[in-house]
Amino acid sequence: MARNVLVVGAGIVGASLAWHLARAGCHVTVAGVQGGVATPCTFAWINASWGNPEFYFHFRRRSMAGWRRLEAALSDLGVDWCGGMLWDLPDDRLSAYAEQHAGWGYGIRMIDRAEAQRLEPGLLSPPERAVHVAEEGAVEAVDAAHVLLNGAQAAGASFMPDTRISRLVMQGDRVTGAETGTGALIDADEVVLAAGTGTPDLLATAGLRLAMTAPPGLIAHSTIAGRRLLNGMIFAPDVHVRQTREGRLIVGADFTGADPGEDPAETARGLLRAVRRYVAGSEALDLAFHTIGYRPTPAGGLPAIGRMPGIEGLYVTVMHSGVTLAPLVGELAAEEIVTGRRDPDLGPFDPGRPALAKEPSD
């Protein structure tokens, strides 16, 4: 018998979950804001880049391959495999990063100033040395979430737009559904949380705890350029920049965004001023708007994906790298919910691990 599954959240992760679950034969209902809350505020870099342990690198790279599979199924997904050029590290760490990740199988290479200029002719001051990863990409995350959600609906899913879930409904040690902000009850065999920063509050309604933080990150969005200023993404020491499909530059102090500061609009204007030191033609662009996203980050930095201990009918998915991980999380969660088989690669991301049962300040 097909399972009735409620997915809470309609950002990139929730949309991927809905698509995979509907394709697996579940009766899926999605509740949330179309496009999500955090998804519109992301830099949307698809990568397995530096700063992660090896097992997490391989998990992220596996999800990069998942984006390729989604593209084959959904031709209008719009991933731009544009590559990324990074020199946002001291020279010794840059070399160590390239050597380590090449050893792990990443398509990474060191490049000199001449190669940097060839790859990005619009750079005003190409770096002496950088790393380049041709297999990295970016996606317009809200658009991709819409495509996935539309695909889920085409496979039979139902969508309840702008519906806030206020609490989980319990019978003994089992979640049997959820209640909306208007008091309506939604019955479900399984509730899947893809609610980002709202996850701890929802878990608390069932007496559960998941320690996480939600640091803010500001992204500046320029007016639209009339031509391509960048071929790929650049990660310079003080700004990370990419150009969207419609021609805007989106800029953060790093890929997670910038500290908004006391005057977020001025912070955003400062980011665009910094870009003008790097990208020819950017001096003609003004600030169009800025976003401030709150990054759902489980304690310890690793995702929380799976069932909470001692509770049936509840599946948790919360992570900061939602854009990179959305395809694989949707695929593996659907497999576990439908078949009961938990992929071995999910082992480190158990939401019941001890670190997540503590207070966030612990």
pLDDT at 355: 87
Cα 224 to its chain centre, rounded Å, is 24
Please give the domain boundaries of the chain with CATH numbers for all domains. 4-43+142-213+298-357 (3.50.50.60), 82-135+214-295 (3.30.9.10)
Q: What distances in angstroms separate CA 31 from CA 157, 179, 357, one per listed residue? A: 11, 11, 26
Sign of the Cα pseudo-torsion (350, 144, 9, 19, in order): negative
Helix (H) or strand (E) holding 192: strand 190-193
Q: How far apart are CA 3 and CA 219, in angstroms?
A: 39
Q: How far apart are CA 333 and CA 20, in angstroms?
A: 9
Q: How far apart are CA 245 and CA 95, in angstroms?
A: 32
Q: Point out the residues of the chain with pLDDT beneath 70.
A: 1, 255-256, 358-362
The packing angle between helices 12-23 and 141-154, to 10°, is 20
pLDDT in tens, 275-318: 999 999 999 999 999 999 999 999 999 999 999 999 999 999 99
pLDDT at 116: 98
Q: How far apart are CA 90 and CA 49, in angstroms?
A: 16
Under 8 Å between Cβ of 302 and 348: yes
52-58 long-range Cβ contacts below 8 angstroms, 24+ apart: 54/104, 55/345, 55/348, 56/302, 56/348, 57/101, 57/104, 57/106, 58/104, 58/345
Q: Say which DSSP state 189 is in.
A: S
Closest CA to 200 of 191, 192, 190, 212: 212
Three-state DSSP state, 250 = strand
The pair of structure tokens assigned to 92 is 């010794």
Q: How far apart are CA 244 and CA 306, in angstroms?
A: 33
Closest CA to 219 of 15, 2, 38: 38
Burial of 74 (0-12, 13-18, 19+ CB in 10 A): middle
